[in-house]
Structure 1
Amino acid sequence: MSGVGGNTLGRAVVDAEGVNLPVRPAEAVNAVRRAVRDGIAAVWGRKRVPEADDGSVRT
């Protein structure tokens, strides 16, 4: 599925942990994700951000 600005959305994959919607190129979405993480870190502190920089969940 073609999107705005040349981005392409893949087929949504639903599983028990959430919904995955692949976007290509992913850089615009990654920039938003980084900004949200930075905002959470500014309030809670970096060590309390629930998701690591690579997207893995901290335990």
Structure 2
Amino acid sequence: MAAINWALVAPLIAIEAILLIVALIDLARIHATNGPKWVWAIVIIFVSIIGPILYFIFGRKTS
């Protein structure tokens, strides 16, 4: 663990956590998505930093 450069890793962890939280809040508030909400919740949670980005690009239904 001492060999990990925390100056590089800590911002990535923070960005991932912020994206995860914002995407889940948006998913809870939005009424319609492209696909089932439960699938998007799984993608957001388990596909790391790419999951929330995929949700914001493809998951939100435009009006």
Normalised by the size of structure 2, how large is the TM-score?
0.39
Higher relative contact order (CA 8 A, sep 6+): 2
More strand by share: 1
Larger % of helix: which? 2
TM-score (norm 1): 0.41
